[in-house]
Structures are given as C-alpha cells and as structure tokens.
Amino acid sequence: MKKTGRLVLFFTVISNLIIIYAVVASGINEFLIFWNKVSLKYTIGIILVASIWYFVWITRINKKREFADLSTYTSSDLLNLNDDKDFLPTQCPECEEECWYESKDPNATLVLTCWNCQHLFSYVWCEKSGMGGDFIKNIAHKPSSWECPDCHTAYPISGHVFENPKNTVSYKQLPKSVVLSNKARQYRFQKEQAITSVIFLSTMLMGFSLVPPVVNALEKASSQFVTITEANSPLLYSCGAFLIFLFSFVAMWYGLVMSLLWLFKKIKAMNEARLKAM
C-alpha cells in the first residue's frame, strides 16, 4: 500500500473511532432517536431513488442495439460465453484501425501486422507501471530491448519475436462465437458497473444522512469533556480542547473526504483495467 493509502486508512480508522466514542458517550439510544427524527426519511428516499435509478439503467442496457444478439440467451448462457478470452484488441499506430489478435498471454511481447495497412507495430506490457502499448522503437532494426515511457524500465526482447509477426484481423473478421462472447463480456461488465455505481453512491449518500446525528453526538461528547476538564484544570482544558479540535478536524477530513476521493480513483483505475482487458 502506498503512503497516501496508508495515511487515508490511518485517519479513516481514527475518525471512525472518534465517531464511535462520541455515539457511545452521548448515548446510543439518543443517537438512534435523533437519526430517526432527522435523517431516516432521507435514507428511505435514497433507497427508493437508487432502486428506480438501477431499474432504468438496466432497462437502457437491455435495450441497446449492440446487445440485441444476446436477447435469446439466459443469464447462465451468457456466463458460459468465453470464446473471446484469447482474442485481444489494440490499435494500429499508423492507420488507427482497431486490430484484434489471438494470444493466450495478454502481457506477452508481440510484433503485430495491421490487417488494414500492413504496418508492423508492437504490443508490450510493463508490469511496473501497469501500462501497455507500442513501445518498441525501430522494429526494422530488431532492437534487443524496449523501455517503458512511463517508468523507464528496460525489458529484453527475444529474437524470435521479430521472426514471426502475428497477423491481426478486424472486428468484422472475428468468428461469430468470439463476437458474441465479447458482447456478452461487455454486457456483464456494464451491468456490474451499474449495480456497483448505484450501491456505492447510495451508500455514500446514506452515510451523509448520518452527519446530523453524528455531529449532535460529537457536540454532546465534547461538552462532557469541556465540563470535566474546565472544572479540574483550565490549562488542560485550553490545550486539550484545541488539540482535540485540530486532530478531529484532520481525522474527519482524511477519513470522510480524502478516503472517498481515494476510493473514486481506485474504482476508476479498476474500470480502466477491466475495459483494457476486454
């Protein structure tokens, strides 16, 4: 886990502990009563809107013309369509046409021939940066290595890669079973994306509906701290109140705001990786 991820995780845990302490200190029953009075109706509304939103989203996916060929298949049949697992798409850097090639290893180092313009280009994968593309320069000179443009890691190239360039085909030239399997994969991905987005956003909004009762609990817990420390030690009260306020603010910022931004970036990266693998 990277430094940012560890920092977000740390403050997320701290902020959750602060909230739990505040809820317990102010009284769980009072917290639930306040939540029921102020936020419960919003939670019910969010669930209702999320359900309608999901239904409309799925209906639009089912009505897409590109998935018309899948209408006769059941859900179990769609799961079994995987003839496209060894066919991968890329783009010719010369004519920019989509090129499909067959390979059991999606991260293999390959030299490809464009089906449209016969241009020779490469597809390689950098494990360190997690990106792939046409990174072999001067293919005609058969270089012994290539370098990732992102992390500048050098990788060796076997000589046999240049001896047998792999031919590519257009999407229309793919076997029908492969086309159906690819459509089924995209269909499943779009449905998974719909349910994941709806659950994530509705959960996040329901989490925000807890803000008023949580703030109320924090106010009551802090007032208890103020009453105890102010009576016993004014200095401890002044320093402690400031430090608790400052740390609580930082913890809440990282725990409730930065964690969501970090999670959004993770979801975006996962979606881009899945789209690339299609």
What pLDDT, in 10s, does the model give residues 86-107? Answer: 788 889 989 989 999 988 888 8
Identify whether residues 158 and 95 lie together within a single domain: yes
Identify whether residues 155 and 215 lie together within a single domain: no
> What are the distances in angstroms from CA 141 to CA 3, 52, 90, 137, 144?
42, 59, 23, 9, 9
CA 79 – CA 109 distance, rounded (Å)? 29
Q: How many residues does the chain have?
A: 278
Burial status of residue 123 (CB atoms within 10 A of its CB: 0-12, 13-18, 19 or more): buried
Identify whether residues 160 and 193 lie together within a single domain: no
Task: Evaluate whether residue 73 is within a structural domain.
Answer: no
Confirm if 3 and 240 have CB atoms less than 8 A apart: no
Q: For the ranges 77-91, 99-113, 133-147, 197-211, which has the lowest average pLDDT?
A: 197-211
Identify whether residues 268 and 223 lie together within a single domain: yes
pLDDT surpasses 50 at 236: no
Domain that holds residue 118: 86-173
The mean pLDDT value for 211-218 works out to: 68
Confirm if 264 and 204 have CB atoms less than 8 A apart: no
The mean pLDDT value for 250-259 works out to: 55
CA 45 – CA 22 distance, rounded (Å)? 27
CA 140 – CA 144 distance, rounded (Å)? 12
Structure confidence at residue 235 (pLDDT): 45
pLDDT surpasses 60 at 133: yes
Task: Evaluate whether residue 81 is within a structural domain.
Answer: no
Burial status of residue 140 (CB atoms within 10 A of its CB: 0-12, 13-18, 19 or more): exposed
* Domain final residue, candidates 129, 144, 173: 173
Identify whether residues 256 and 199 lie together within a single domain: yes
Structure confidence at residue 49 (pLDDT): 86
Cβ contacts of residue 173 below 8 Å, gap of 6+?
100, 115
* Domain final residue, candidates 173, 195, 224: 173
Task: Evaluate whether residue 36 is within a structural domain.
Answer: yes
Compute the 3-state secondary structure of the chain and give helix, strand, coil in percent, each to the nearest 5.
65, 10, 25
Identify whether residues 211 and 139 lie together within a single domain: no
Task: Evaluate whether residue 250 is within a structural domain.
Answer: yes
Task: Evaluate whether residue 78 is within a structural domain.
Answer: no
* Domain final residue, candidates 153, 173, 193: 173
Higher pLDDT, 242 or 155: 155
Domain total of the chain: 2
Identify whether residues 62 and 191 lie together within a single domain: yes
DSSP structure class, residue 253: I
